[in-house]
Amino acid sequence: MHQFQTGLGLYFRLILSFDSAGLREQRIASLHSCSPKVCIVGGGPAGFYTAQHLIKARQDVEVDIYERLPVPFGLVRFGVAPDHPEVKNVINTFTQTAKHTRCSFYGNVNVGKDVSVEELQRAYHAVVLSYGAEGNRSIGVPGEELTGVYSAKDFVGWYNGLPSCRELSPDLSCETAVILGQGNVALDVARVLLSPLDILKKTDITQPALEALTGSQVRRVLIVGRRGPMQVACTIKELREMVNLPDTRPEMVVSDFEGVTEALKDLPRPRKRLTELLLKTALETPGEKEQERRNKASRTWGFRFFRSPVEVLADPERSRTAGVRLAVNKLEGSGERARAVLTGEVEDVTCGLVISSIGYKSLPIDPSVPFDSSKAIVPNTMGRVQQASGLYCSGWLKTGPTGVIATTMNNSFDTARSLLEDMDSGTVDVSAAKSGSHIISSLLEERGVKPVTFSDWEKIDNVEMRRGEAIGKPREKLLTVEEMLRVARTVTEDKNVISY
Amino acid sequence: MSRRQRCFPIGRFRPCDQNRIMAAAAAVRSSMGLTLRLSRVIPDCSTCPLYKSKSCVNSVANLQRRSSFDSFRTINRHLQTSIGLYHSDEGSSNAEDPEDVVNVVYIDRSGQRIPVKAKVGDNVLYLAHKHGIDLEGACEASLACSTCHVYVSAAHFDKLPEPAEREDDMLDMAPMLQENSRLGCQIILTPELDGIELTLPKVTRNFYVDGHVPKPH
C-alpha cells in the first residue's frame, strides 16, 4: 500500500479497487473541481461590481450572473440619461468582468419564475441578490390614475428603451409639465423634455421618443418639492446642466429663498455649493449677455418649493389630467431633517403632464426570501440577509433606491467582502463541491428557457451600434424582448438582421 | 456623437494619444488578471494646434501602425474623456531620464504604503492601475463619477493646479470629502510633485439599513 501512495500518483490510486472513503472523495473532488461557486441575481451595476470584487479577491471563485432581460447592465442602460454617455463608460468595466474566464452571464432568465432562489441556493455556495428596484412609490392622491400622469421610472424607461415601457406613449401636447420630486431623476426628465432636439438626436435616446419629443408642445416645466431650496435632493452637476440648457430660462419664486443666504455659511461644502448656484440662478440679476439669452429663450423651467400634491385634477370629461392641486407647506426644523408641515392653503397649477419622481421601490421576487415591505428592502446586516444562510444582497435592494453608481460600487464591494469573510471563516462551507450552472442549465432547459450568453448580447450590441451609426447616434436600441432574442439567436452574420 | 474624442491641448502634453490611453487601460485589465481588450478609437486631431503646426509625432499613420497590436477590437467605441489624459509610454522605459522620474507613494485602504517610480506626465489614476492599486475609475476619467477620489499629501496639495468646476462638482459627491481631496484622474505628475503621497479613502461599512439620510441619485 505504502509504495502506491508515494510517487505513483493518482493513476494507481484510481486503479486500486479497495480505495478508502478518503481516496474516493479526492477523486470526486478532482472531477467536480472544488471551487466556490457564487450566483448573482441581477445584471446591473450592483451585480457586476459584486462579481468583480469576488473574482479579483479569490483566484478560485466562479461567478454566474443571472439577468431577467436578454441584455445586461440594468439602470446604466435604462436609467442613465441619454445625454450622459460618460456615466455609461462603466459598461467597459462590466464587460471585462463578464468576459473573465471565471464569470458567466445568463440573460433571459427570470429568477422567481423560471428558477427559484431555493434552487439556486442548492446549486451554489452562495447567492447574492442584486436585482434592484423595479417598482415605484405611488403619490397616493386621487386622480393619480388619470391619463397624463406617469412615474418618472416609466418615463425614463420609455425614452431609454426599456421593453416594458415601450407602449407608454406619453401625451406631450400640453404647454406645462409638472414634475413631483426634486432629485436627479426629476432633473433628467426636465432636461429631456426641454433639450434642443439637435442635442438629443445625437444620443442613444430611442427613435420613438425622439419623434414624440419633436412633436412635443411642452414649453414649461415646474419641478415641485415639499420642502425648501436647502433640501433639494439633486446634485450640482445636474442643476448646472439645467441652468446652462440652451434656449431655456429659469423661472423661480424669489420669496422661496428667504433666509437662505444667511444660512449658507454653516453648510457643508457640497450643500453650500449647490445652494449658492440655486441662489445665483434665482436671485442674481443676470449680465447683459445672459439676459439677452434668457429673453430669446423659448422654454422655461423652475423649482417650486414648499408644495405637496393633494390631488390630480381632471378635465371636464375626466379623461385626462388638467392640473394638479398643491398644498402649501412651511418648514419645521432646518437642514436635512427639516419637515414639511401643511399650512392649510392650497394652490392649483394648470398642466397636462404630471410626472412623479418620488422614488423607485424594490419588490419581492421570491417568497422564500425575507422582505421588509415597509422599507422595501431585503433585511440584512452588511449585505448578509438576515435569517438566511448563504444568501446576500447588494445594491439598491440592500440599502434602498438612492445613490449613484459610485455608491452602488462601494455597497457591492462591501457585500463581496462579507461573503469572502464568510467563505474564509467556514460560515459558507466551500469544501463541498456544488454543481452551479450545470444543474441550473438543465433545469432551465427542461422548462423551455434558453439563456442569452454574453456573446449573444454582443450580437445585440453590434446590431444596435450599426443601426445607430447609420443615423449619427451611438446606438439605436432594440425595443422588444422578441427582437433582442431573435438577434441573440442568430448563428452567423445574418445580413437581414444587420441592415435592420 | 461621432467616433471621436474631444481634444483640449494643455501645455506640453499631447492630448490625443488614444492608443496610449488604451494601452494603459489594457495594463489595468492585465494587472488585475482580467481579460485584455483593446479598442480602436480614431482621434479627431483637427482641433489640436500641434497637429495644425505639423509638430505632432502621433500622426494618424503612426497610430494606425501601432494599433496593429490590438488583438481585440470593438467597433464604434465612443470614448468620452476629460482633458489631460496624457501619460508616459510604459513601453519605452529604455533611457530613464532621472529628471523625468517622480516618486509617488500610494497608501491603500488597509494603510499599506506602496512606493511607485513614475514619470512626469503620468496620470495618477492609470498609474495606480498599472501597479495594481485598488483605485476605481468607473467613468474612465470623464469627470462623471467620484470613484478615483484620493487624499493628497499636504505638502503637495497646493502644488496642484486648481480643480476645474466640473471636478469640484464630482468631488462634492464623494463620501468622506476632506480639504485635501482630489480626483486621481485629474492629477498629472510634474517634477514638483516628487514625493507626493496619495491616500485612498477608507470607505467604511456605514451603509444604512434603517432609513438614514438618503444620498442623491
Helix (H, G, I), strand (E, B) or coil at A223: strand
Closest chain A residue to B22, measured at CA: A92
Which residues lie across from A149 on neighbouring strands? A354
Cβ(B181)–Cβ(B174) below 8 Å = yes
Number of domains in chain B: 1
* Interchain contact, B217 vs A86, CB within 8 Å: no
Give kind and range of the element (H or E) at residue B51.
helix B49-52
Residue A382 and residue B205: Cβ atoms within 8 Å?
Answer: yes
- Say which CATH topology domain A37-134+362-452 has: Rossmann fold (3.40.50)
CA-to-CA distance for A414 and A46, rounded, in angstroms?
11
A233 in contact with chain B, both atoms CB, cutoff 8 A: yes
For B119, the enclosing helix (H) or strand (E) is strand B113-119
**B8 in a domain, yes or no?**
no
Q: Choose the weakest-confidence range: A109-123, A138-152, B40-54, B147-161.
A: B40-54
In angstroms, rounded to a whole number, what is the distance separating the alpha carbons of residues A357 and A360?
8
> Residue B32 domain-assigned?
no
User: How far does B50 lie from chain A, in Å, by closest CA?
Assistant: 26
Alpha-carbon dihedral sign for residues A174, A179, A180, A185: positive
State whether ipTM is beyond 0.90. no
Q: CA A74 → CA A68, A257, A363, distances in Å?
A: 10, 38, 15
- The predicted structure's pLDDT at residue B22: 56
> What are the grid coordinates assigned to A467, written together?
443601426
Quick count: other Cβ atoms within 10 Å of Cβ A246? 12
Q: Which residues in chain A have their CB less than 8 angstroms from residue B205's CB?
A: 382, 414
Spatial distance between the Cα atoms of B85 and B19, rounded to a whole number of angstroms:
11
Q: Looking at beta carbons, which residues of chain B come within 8 Å of A276? A: none
- Asked whether the beta carbons of A58 and A416 are under 8 A apart, the reply is no
In a domain, B81, yes or no: no
How many helices (H) and strands (E) would you count in chain A? 21, 18
Grid cell 445613490 is found at A403
Return the CATH number at B148. 3.10.20.30
Asked if A469 is an interface residue toward chain B (Cβ–Cβ < 8 A), one would say yes
Element (H, E) at A329: strand A321-332
Which run of H or E residues covers position B114?
A: strand B113-119
Q: Does A51 touch chain B (CB under 8 A)?
A: no
DSSP-assigned letters across all residues of A234-271: S-HHHHHHHHT-TTEEE---GGGGTTHHHHGGGS-HHH
The residue range of the domain holding B180 is: 101-199
Chain A: residue whose CA lies nearest to B179: A269
Nearest CB among A89, A236, A409 relative to B140 is that of A89
Binding positions of A are: 46, 67, 75, 111, 182-185, 226-227, 238, 396, 403-405
Select the residue of A85, A203, A405 nearest B145 (Cβ to Cβ). A405
- What 3-state DSSP class applies to A298? coil
Print pLDDT tens along chain A (500 aa): 454 445 555 455 445 444 454 445 444 444 445 799 999 999 999 999 999 999 999 999 999 999 999 999 999 999 999 999 999 999 999 999 999 999 999 999 999 999 999 999 999 999 999 999 999 999 999 999 999 999 999 999 999 999 999 999 999 999 999 999 999 999 999 999 999 999 999 999 999 999 999 999 999 999 999 999 999 999 999 999 999 999 999 999 999 999 999 999 999 999 999 999 999 999 999 999 999 999 999 999 999 999 999 999 999 887 899 999 999 999 999 888 999 999 999 999 999 999 999 999 999 999 999 999 999 999 999 999 999 999 999 999 999 999 999 999 999 999 999 999 999 999 999 999 999 999 999 999 999 999 999 999 999 999 999 999 999 999 999 999 999 999 999 986 555 555 44
Q: Cβ contacts (< 8 Å) between B138 and chain A: which residues?
A: 89-90, 93, 405-406, 409
Q: Which residues of A touch B4 (CB under 8 A)?
A: none
Strand partners, A111: A115
Residue listed under C-alpha cell 453608481: A405
pLDDT of res. A317: 87
Of B142, B173, B213, the CB nearest to A406: B173
Phi, psi of A234 (to 5 degrees): -75, 170
- Residue B59 lies inside a defined structural domain of this protein: no
Number of other residues whose CB lies within 10 A of the CB of residue A411: 27
Q: Is the pLDDT of residue B78 over 70?
A: no
Residue written as cell 429631456? A192
Looking at residue B14, what is its pLDDT? 55
Is A53 within 8 Å of chain B by CB?
no
Distance CA A121, CA A355 (A): 40
CATH 3.40.50.720 residue spans of chain A: 37-134+362-452
Residues of A within 8 A of B166 (CB-CB) are 237
Q: Report yes or no on B160 lying in a domain.
A: yes
Residue B45 lies in a domain: no
Query: A397-424 pLDDT, tens per residue?
Result: 999 999 999 999 999 999 999 999 999 9
Q: What is the mean pLDDT of residues B47-74?
A: 46
Place of cell 506602496: B114
CB pairs A-B closer than 8 Å: 139
- Listed in sequence order, the DSSP H helices in A58-141 are 74-78, 90-98, 117-123
Place of cell 431609454: A160
For residue B57, the model assigns a pLDDT of 53
pLDDT digits (tens, 9 = 90+) for B196-207: 999 999 875 443
A404 to B216: CB separation less than 8 angstroms, yes or no: yes
Q: Is residue B179 part of a domain?
A: yes
Is the Cα torsion angle A155, A158, A159, A162 positive or negative in sign?
Answer: positive
Q: Model pTM?
A: 0.82
A335 Cβ under 8 Å from any chain B Cβ: no
pLDDT tens for A374-403 read: 999 999 999 999 999 999 999 999 999 999
Put simply, the answer to whether B217 touches A402 (Cβ < 8 Å) is: yes
pLDDT per residue as tens digits for the range A445-499:
999 999 999 999 999 999 999 999 999 999 999 999 999 999 999 986 555 555 4
Residue A323: strand pairing partners:
A313, A350
- Quote the CA–CA distance of A173 and A218 in Å, as a whole number: 7
In this complex, do A401 and B34 lie within 8 Å of one another by their Cβ atoms? no
Amino acid at A2: H
Residue B87 in any domain: the answer is: no
Beta carbons within 8 Å of B64's beta carbon, 6+ residues apart:
none
Strands A353-356 and A176-180: parallel
Q: Which residue's C-alpha cell is 439605436?
A: A476
Fold classified for A136-359: FAD/NAD(P)-binding domain (3.50.50)
Give CA–CA dist A295/A289, Å, rounded. Answer: 10
Which residues in A lie closer than 8 A to residue B176 (C-beta atoms)? none
